[in-house]
Structure 1
Amino acid sequence: MEAIFVYTTFPDWGSARKTVRELLERKLAVCANLREHEAIYWGEDRVREEKEVGVLLKTEVGKWKELKEAIRDLHPYEVPVIARIDLDKLNREYSEWMGQVLFE
């Protein structure tokens, strides 16, 4: 199995948790890490600063397209970041657990 991480951000905890739960229930990911952080970005013709919730989803490459589309459909942002991070190495035990969760 080829594991990947998928990164996206949300405007608040509620929308992040709701979306992550839906993705997990659909078995598009096995786990997600959520962290609040400061976002400094270009928006509305100026530099803006706000809090965001970053989400790192753990899944396998075969789920990428469906996961990306589901995030687009569920996401509150008009243009969300949906970044795939290919993993070079992952411990065997975790990889086996991922396979059990995603394909049982």
Structure 2
Amino acid sequence: MEAIFVYTTFPDWESARKVVRELLERKLIVCANMREHEAMYWWEGKIEEGKEIGVLLKTEVSRWKALRDALRELHPYEVPLIARVDLDKLNREYSEWMARVLFG
């Protein structure tokens, strides 16, 4: 199993939960960790500040393209961050659980 993390951000808890639930129902991810944080970024020529919900999605590399496409479809941002992080090592027990959820 080649596990990956996919990181994205949302403007609020409601949109984050809605999209994560849809991804879980489609079996594109096995888990998501969500955390609120302060964000500063450039948008339309000026620096913006606000709160965002950072979401770390856990899945298998074979789900990457479908997950990326689903995030593009469901995401409320005009320009969402969709970043893939390949995992070098993952403990066997977690890897087996992921396989059962995604492929079982």
**Superposition TM-score tier, normalisation by shorter sequence:** over 0.9
Show structure 2 runs of 5+ residues with no match. Answer: none
Show structure 1 runs of 5+ residues with no match. Answer: none
Residue of structure 2 equivalent to 1:81: 81
Instruction: Tell me the SS of whatever aligns to 1:58.
Output: strand
What amino acid does structure 2 have at the position aligned with 1:18?
K
Q: Following TM superposition, where does structure 1 have runs of at least 4 consecutive aligned residues deviating by more than 2 angstroms?
A: none
Q: Normalised by the size of structure 1, how large is the TM-score?
A: 0.99
Residue of structure 2 equivalent to 1:101: 101
In the aligned structure 2, how far is the partner of 1:36 from the partner of 1:72?
A: 21
Residue of structure 2 equivalent to 1:57: 57
What amino acid does structure 2 have at the position aligned with 1:10?
F
Instruction: Tell me the SS of whatever aligns to 2:71.
Output: helix
Deviation of the 1:44 alpha carbon: 2.2
Aligned residues: 104
Residue of structure 2 equivalent to 1:30: 30
What amino acid does structure 2 have at the position aligned with 1:13?
W
Residue of structure 2 equivalent to 1:16: 16
Q: Residues 35-89 of structure 1: CA distance to partner in whole angstroms, max 9, x if unpaired?
A: 0001100012111111000000000000000000000000000110000000010
In the aligned structure 1, how far is the partner of 2:75 from the partner of 2:23?
A: 11
In the aligned structure 1, how far is the partner of 2:14 from the partner of 2:75?
A: 12
